[in-house]
Amino acid sequence: MNTPKKSFDTPPGRSGKSSGCKNFSPLNDDGGRFIPNRVSSNLKLLFEKAEIDYKPEKTEDSCHKFSDFLHSQLFKSPTNDHKSHNNFFKYKPPLFPGLENKENQPYSMFEQTTSFETQSLRKFTKTPFKILDAPNLRDDFYIDVVSWSTKNVIAIGLHNEVYLWNAETLKVRCLCSFVGDSVASVNWNHNGDTLAVGTEKGRLHIYDINSLSIIYNISNHLSRIGTMSWNHHLLSSGSRDGNIIHQDMRSGSLCSKVYAHRQEICKIKWSNGGDYLVSGGNDNRIMLWSSLNQNPVHTFTGHNAAVKALDWCPYSSNILASGGGTADKTIRLWNINSFEQTNCIETNSQVCNMRFSQNTHELVTSHGYSENLINIWKYPCLQPVGELRGHNSRVLYMDLSPDKETVVTGAGDETLRFWKLFPINEQENFVSSSVSLSLNEVR
């Protein structure tokens, strides 16, 4: 190795400090070049020793010795492992290929991740592509008045009336109107041809959508029916009276009545396979039920507020997700086999609703006090993927389109907003538009 002799004396008229650089830093995580601190090193003596002590043969052994010698002189610590320093005087390869030039871009909390798989490469529009005016859409945490059918029709409860909005034809029609009563919940069956409507006075109305006629008018609850869930021909309803009632919609007969919660039932939902029913209440508890049994399989505790947000994981049938109200603000994952909590995250806002995506391994949640936003989380780590803002009040209602690509949200600001969050075709272009749901179009 021929090392040219150089003079390291300071040239006349120049200081020994480099101009324009007051500090240097060691090897950065962002791929910057390593600049060694040579203040305490005599580099002139170092290179003279290198010429005297080592022969110029370009052998692997001589390179390793010289590397070790440099390390001991520069860092004052000997090393015997030359393999650990194979990046001497080299640029560090980028941590995430293709994302090298991020230094001057605005900081985003969603880009600071621990692995390439969780890097926020996820693309989605942050504005709704459609907005519907929904006058008299109630700002009430304990009701559920938006439901999207498998036939692409959305049922919306507006005070004492139920409207049907066809997402394909954009036509609106009024299904029913109540006198002296108001809508507390709406829910489609799996075929999308039957709609259940629960009211504030505890009455249950079942409608055939094909004929726009009422099938059953049932009064088994003592107070408002704020939540319902179908399991094939079985319709389950939860009420402010604390009871869950199961009814066979082939005959309209009562199958079972269960006293479930000490306070109002905020949400009930059958599992994807129909084996389990879960209920969340204003008593901060989550109850797991097997079929129509009178006694719960298990009671999950941990939330410190009412539990309205509940959903079953579509890719892990034993996982249940839940969200707590204003005094809790957490999202929790539960294993219904071991009855253990598998994850928990603080959201800083009241959790009003949640749905798992079936196109991606993600969970979308809607929030109230105090942020009024929509969040997307990576499952199962619950790492934030993105957030959406647009509503001016609590985002209380949420459902998925039949193709599972679009999320509709409703709030007390009397609007429904449509977000394309889980597209199968990532290259799809999004076009913003606004459609008014006006009562004049119906009458």
Q: At which residue do the structure tokens 């919609």 appear?
A: 249
Kindly state which CATH superfamily the domain 130-442 is placed in. Answer: YVTN repeat-like/Quinoprotein amine dehydrogenase (2.130.10.10)
Q: Tokens for 29?
A: 């995580």
Amino acid at 402: P
Distance from chain centroid for Cα 68: 50
CA distances from 147 to 8, 118, 197, 211, 374 (A): 78, 32, 11, 19, 18
Which of 399, 386, 397, 327 has its CA nearest to residue 356?
399
Which of 90, 85, 55 has its CA nearest to residue 70?
85
The residue length of the chain stands at: 443
Q: Tokens for 356?
A: 């798992």
Beta bridge partners of 197: 186, 205
Could you report how far apart the first and last alpha carbons of the chain are, in Å?
A: 93
Using CA atoms of 273, 353, 421, 372 in order, give the dihedral in degrees to the nearest 10. 180
Enclosing H/E stretch for 308: strand 307-312
Q: At what angle are helices 43-53 and 60-75 packed, to 10 degrees?
A: 150
pLDDT of res. 110: 36
Sign of the CA dihedral with 313 first, then 316, 318, and 323 last: negative
pLDDT of res. 51: 53
**What's the chain's Rg over C-alpha atoms?**
32
Residue stretches of the chain with pLDDT short of 70: 1-67, 69-121, 425-443
Beta bridge partners of 214: 207
pLDDT digits (tens, 9 = 90+) for 129-167: 999 999 999 999 999 999 999 999 999 999 999 999 999
Beta bridge partners of 230: 235
pLDDT digits (tens, 9 = 90+) for 375-431: 999 999 999 999 999 999 999 999 999 999 999 999 999 999 999 999 876 444 333
Domain map (residue ranges) of the chain = 1-6+25-79, 130-442
pLDDT of res. 378: 96
pLDDT of res. 45: 62
Cβ–Cβ < 8 Å for 208, 215: yes
Strands 161-166 and 153-158: antiparallel
**CA-CA distance, 315 to 231, in Å (whole number)?**
19
**CA-CA distance, 403 to 377, in Å (whole number)?**
20
Q: Tokens for 140?
A: 């009430």
Q: Tokens for 114?
A: 């621990």
Sheet holding 265-270, edge to edge: 265-270, 276-281, 286-290, 298-300
In 369-413 the beta strands, taken as DSSP E runs, fall at 374-378, 383-388, 395-400, 406-411
CA distances from 97 to 68, 100, 111, 358, 419 (A): 31, 7, 14, 29, 30
Which of 145, 192, 200, 120 has its CA nearest to residue 401?
192
Sheet holding 374-378, edge to edge: 351-356, 362-367, 374-378, 383-388
Beta bridge partners of 207: 195, 214
**CA-CA distance, 311 to 323, in Å (whole number)?**
9
Amino acid at 279: S
pLDDT of res. 65: 66
Contacts of 41 (CB under 8 A, 6+ apart): 73, 74
pTM metric for this prediction: 0.71
**CA-CA distance, 393 to 141, in Å (whole number)?**
12
Contacts of 318 (CB under 8 A, 6+ apart): 335, 336, 337
In 123-249 the beta strands, taken as DSSP E runs, fall at 130-133, 146-148, 153-158, 161-166, 172-177, 183-188, 194-199, 203-208, 213-219, 225-231, 234-239, 243-248
